[in-house]
Structure 1
Amino acid sequence: MAAITAAMVKDLREQSGAGMMDCKKALAECDGDMDAAFELLRKNGAAKAEKKASRIAAEGICKVVVEGNTAVVLEVNSETDFVAKNEKFQTYVEKVAKQILKSDVKSIDELLTQPWAEDSSKTVNDVHVEMVATIGEKLSLRRFEKVTSDGFVVSYTHGGGRIGVIVDMAGAESDAAKEAATNLAMQIAALNPKYVSRDEVSAEYIAHEKEILLAQIMNDPKESQKPEKVINGMIEGRVSKELKEICLLDQVYVKAEDGKQTVAKYLEEVSKATGSALSIKSFVRFETGEGLEKKNEDFAAEVAAQMNA
């Protein structure tokens, strides 16, 4: 059997764009034949998957799975919304999420090296590469978060997986408590708070916001002429208004009949009704493609470009 050198692996990796271990494995199977190894990578989908790495994958789904008091939310991206609705893709994402739920992996890189739950002869990465070859688009296992509660967890998925939410609750689990927590999960999906309460907001964040607001006021010819006490009051008022928008407990409860009741007051009412003090320990909110650049689709321009090529 031919000796597989680091240089050979490097050359095949540069030629195919496939991963280093995939290249080494292909060369070993092909007894060092570079051309045969390249073809093997193509057949296995490894080269095809890696060649798509430069594409933007900002669509996809967020999948939430729950078992007992543990929940996982996983975001897997695709290039198009069409693929995100594909049943085979959705089944794959659910299987990965369930694998995370039953494991102790802490990162995507660690996850990819794990044996696949349904076939230990393959890794999660092997199955991912196969899925890319089957679907024909770049797919990206982007991020996940796992929550294990000493109270109870509820989840909510919006828009067929566009948004996935997990809420970790403290208090006795009951139908009424779970219903209330689900209502809060829906609120989190809709209004996208950043914190549970003001206690979580750092002093540095507030100081920074005040600095920006002061600069805005001083750049306004009219407002800058107001007394210092008035300006300070304006800044405090605007910071308070912002905190009401980004802190869940300060937000107006979306189902409030009077349009004024806060989430904190709503929780107080539910706690009294159930006889158990309910509180929100934490929440996770994933939105598909959040923070990613999305591809600007212009079919007419694409056709024109091809005709002029």
Structure 2
Amino acid sequence: MAITAQMVKELREKTGAGMMDCKKALQETDGDMDKAIDFLREKGIAKAAKKSDRIAAEGTTYIEVNGNEAVIIEVNAETDFVAKNEGFQTLVQDLAKHLLKSKPTSIEEAHESKMDNGVTVTEYVNTAISKIGEKLTLRRFALATKTDADAFGAYLHMGGRIGVLTVLTGTTDESVAKDVAMHAAALHPKYVSRDEVSAEETEREREVLKQQALNEGKPANIVEKMVEGRLGKFFEDVCLLEQSFVKNPDEKVKQFVKNAGASVASFVRYEVGEGIEKRQENFAEEVMNQVKK
């Protein structure tokens, strides 16, 4: 049976599913509208689509390590209550194992990749949405590799509220790598070292500091020297190696790492919901929303 645009539009209005999903459902059911609705429901797509405009800013980070490979991911839910749900935790672990095995190069590729049971990540998440009853999102991930002479540092803070994965070269001591990860969780650096800060960002900061000094009425002949001193403080704020080590503020992270005969190759720090505009709800409203589901 020929599938018309009007049929797709009608199915979209009834289920809230995407155009391509509706078209596929109609093709699979030979244009039978009721069967197409059931098809989408069985796949979890209809229920997931109805929740697509909700805000999922809670959730967890998770780290999976297998030999010399590791992955850190963030999976979001609408409420912290669901984030602690056993079904949600299983979903997160399954996704991490799959990403570590399939190694997609982008989040879009990850969503379309097929898991061992033959369904795509998107389909797997949609099925979980239909069971759990909240919008769930695989938001981001990062893969890391090392050699036998290196170490991973995996640290989850507050049960996964913050996750940090570090890679240290020159040492196999995972405790050193984990200490660096714990430090990054606490102080939120953006870069490993000054070398990673772009010339544009450095110059922008220099101009801001210069204007601040002039606004403070400092003499023009000493402004430049003041700016360079304050720029050093900027690097301490954003660069991991320049920061005072949380376990021993008398030494920098770079000194702590050097004492271990190591170097920081990379780190990834995820904090649940960072950058997502959260909807403000009070506790009573949240409970009522759960009851109504």
Would the TM-score normalized by the shorter structure come out above 0.5? Answer: yes
SS in 1 for 2:134: coil
What one-letter code is carried by the residue in structure 2 that aligns with 1:291?
G
1:191-235, Cα deviation, whole Å (9 max, x unpaired): 11111111111121111011112222333xxx32x3223211221
Aligned to 2:291: none
Q: Where do 5+ consecutive residues of structure 2 fail to align?
A: 289-293
Q: Tell which deviates more after alignment, 71-80 or 231-240.
A: 231-240
| Paired residues for 1:62-81 under 5 Å | 62-81=61-80
What runs of 5+ residues in structure 1 fail to find an aligned partner? 272-277, 305-309
Q: What is the DSSP-based 3-state SS (H/G/I as helix, E as strand, rest coil) of the residue aligned with 2:244?
A: coil
Secondary structure in 1 matching 2:94 = helix
In 1, distance between residues paired with 2:183 and 2:3? 57
Partners of 1:192 and 1:297 in 2: CA distance: 27
Is the Cα–Cα contact under 8 Å of residues 61 and 161 in structure 2 kept in the other structure? yes
Letter of the 1:53 counterpart: S
2:265 matches 1:284: no
Distance 2:284 2:91 in 1: 33
Residue 307 of structure 1 is matched in structure 2 by none
Report the alpha carbon displacement of residue 32 of structure 1 after superposing the two structures with TM: 0.7
* 1:147-158 matched pairs, under 5 angstroms: 147-150=144-147, 151-158=150-157
Q: Give how far 1:154 is off.
A: 2.1
| One-letter amino acid of the counterpart of residue 201, structure 1 | V
Quote the sequence identity (%).
51
Q: What SS does structure 2 have at the residue aligned with 1:179?
A: helix
More deviation, 2-11/97-106:
2-11
SS at match of 1:116: coil
Report the CA distance shift for 1:55/1:123 in structure 2 as closer, same or farther (over 3 A): same
Inter-partner Cα distance in structure 1 for 2:110 and 2:259: 42
Instruction: Please report the TM-score for the alignment, with normalisation by the length of structure 1.
Output: 0.86
Moved more, 236-245 or 5-14: 5-14
* Residues 1:205 and 2:187 are matched in the alignment: no
Indicate which of 263, 273, 281 corresponds to 1:297.
281
Residue 57 of structure 1, CA deviation: 0.5
Q: How do 1:52-63 residues align onto structure 2 when only pairs under 5 Å count?
A: 52-63=51-62
Give the whole-Å Cα distance in 2 for the aligned partners of 1:303 and 1:80. Answer: 10
Amino acid at match of 1:137: E
Q: Deviations over 1:20-53 (max 9, x none)?
A: 3432332134321224423442354311101111
Change (3 A) 1:270 1:129: same
Contact 2:171 2:260 in 1 (8 A): no
Find 1:217's aligned residue among 195, 213, 219.
213
Query: Greater CA radius of gyration, 1 or 2?
Result: 1
Question: How far off its partner does 1:182 sit?
Answer: 0.9
Question: Could you report, residue by residue, the CA deviation over 1:150-181 in whole angstroms, capped at 9, with x for unpaired residues?
Answer: 333221111111111111111142xxx22111
Residue from 205, 225, 229 that aligns with 2:221: 229
Match of 1:240 among 226, 232, 240: 232
Letter in 2 for 1:294: K
Aligned residues: 286
Paired residue type of 2:220: E
